Amino acid sequence: MLGDSVMDTLARFHRMRGETTLWVPSVDHAGLSTQVEVRRALAKQGVRFETLPRDEALAAIEKWRREHEAVIRSQLEAGGFSLDWSRYRYTMDAGGVRATRQVFVQLHRENLIYRAERMVNWDPRLRTAISDLEVVHSEENGTLVYLLYRWADGSPGGLEVATVRPETIFGDVAVAVHPEDARHAGAVGRSVVVPLTDRAVPVITDEAIDPAFGSGALKVTPRHDLVDYEVFRRHPDLAMPPDILDERAHLVGDWVPEALRGLDRDAGRLQTMDLLRAGGFVLRETPYRHSVARSERTEAVVEPRLSTQWFVRMGPLAGPAVASVREGRVRIRPERWTTTFFRWMESIQDWCISRQVLWGHPIPVYHCRTCGGDTVAVDPPATCEH
């Protein structure tokens, strides 16, 4: 009522000044948040959304969606807003669906949409990638654990490695130190053993390591941390490890000690710490306040996860937006935000547009079982274009 009253006032004001003014009513399908709500409502009736057959799950969403659309519409009507109801649109109308597919196909043809394995924000409760905009950061209390990574050659002692996520040590491929950190100069080129495993990993150097953090030695876990992934990419001699956390953030795979496999990351952390303490690997633990990323929809801690998704290439799209502000065709108010706008636009990351949800716009890409090639088309193709 508040937001629409403001829009209504503006629409009427401009009409009274004799200006042609159109205000279009529309509702969004809001894929992710709707699915979260339906999932919650079903859970109260003792039904697990994930176990429903696809058509039943879609029917439940559609029922929910219709009820809520009717409520929103009746509220707008009750408010007496001067909307043009003859142009009412809903994002999943046939026209909107077709327009979305067309834009996807066009951007793909212009090489502005691509598919790649990248580090994404993963919500393990919803089991989907989410965008940066759906992540909320807050300062939270944690524990910084200092672990002993023993020398692989059997000589006494080892390297002290600090981490807030001891359960991820099983995905380590290296330990990295800053190239100018004199304390660790003798360690570079040697190997250490990942605690609780028999795997030796090399000690490498990387400019991105902050010598002031912990002991100045960082474990490198490329599949489960963005900084680590970037360090990994600068060291082509390192091999990509298997996933040690699955889509639900449960510890999995051969690299995880058998006793810990199948545990979720929280139980996994507690039990890993028990084993580390028992093995004499824990040097000390200190309280640590740090920024934690949570999913806006579920409040689950976001898991940085290497995953194959679809992205929009933002560089070429940001260019014209930056130019229009630089050339004064667009002005930002208040003016002091112009600097922020440039900073956002010039450091913009490619945008992850795919979600692992049941409901929404399907990506118009068709995979050929015979040749493995993809056909990108607005209408479902009868044949593979390869």
Residue with smaller CB distance to Zn ion, 280 or 381: 381
Contact between 382 and Zn ion per CB under 5 A? no
Q: Residues 216-245: x/- map of binding to Zn ion (CB under 5 A)?
A: ------------------------------
Residue number, 137 or 386, with CB nearest to Zn ion:
386
Q: Pick the closer one to Zn ion by CB: 111 or 370.
A: 370
290 touches Zn ion by CB under 5 A? no
Which residues, numbered 356-375, are part of the site for Zn ion (CB under 5 A)?
368, 370-371, 373
- Does residue 386 touch Zn ion according to CB under 5 A? yes
What stretches of 129-264 show up as alpha helix (H) in DSSP?
226-233
Nearer to Zn ion, 3 or 372 (CB): 372
- Residues 148-187: x/- map of binding to Zn ion (CB under 5 A)? ----------------------------------------
DSSP per-residue string spanning 194-226:
PTTS--EEEEEE-TT--TTSTTSEEEE-TTS-H
Of residues 316 and 381, the one with the C-beta less far from Zn ion: 381
Binding flag, residue 22, Zn ion (CB under 5 A): no
Cβ proximity to Zn ion, 16 vs 371, nearer residue:
371
How far is Cα of residue 78 from the mean position of the Cα atoms in its chain?
39
Spatial distance between the Cα atoms of 269 and 164, rounded to a whole number of angstroms: 10
Tell me how far, at minimum, the Cβ of 112 lies from Zn ion, in Å. 24
Min separation Cβ 361 and Zn ion, Å:
24
Contact call for residues 203 and 190 (beta carbons, < 8 A): yes
Question: Which residue, 195 or 364, has its beta carbon nearer to Zn ion?
Answer: 364
Q: Are 201 and 176 in contact (CB under 8 A)?
A: no
Q: What is the DSSP string of 285-353?
A: EEEEEEEEEEETTT-PBPEEEEEEEEEE--HHHHHHHHHHHHTTSS--SSTTHHHHHHHHHHTPPPEE-
Work out whether 384 is an interface residue with Zn ion (CB under 5 A). yes
> Minimal distance in Å, beta carbon 369 to Zn ion?
8
CA distances (Å), origin 86, targets 48, 130, 261, 284: 39, 34, 58, 68
Instruction: Please work out the total of residues on this chain that contact Zn ion, with binding judged by CB under 5 A.
Output: 6
304 within 8 A of 123, measured Cβ to Cβ = no
Residue type, 99: A
Handedness of CA 303, 304, 306, 310 (dihedral sign): positive
Binding footprint of Zn ion on the chain (CB under 5 A) = 368, 370-371, 373, 384, 386
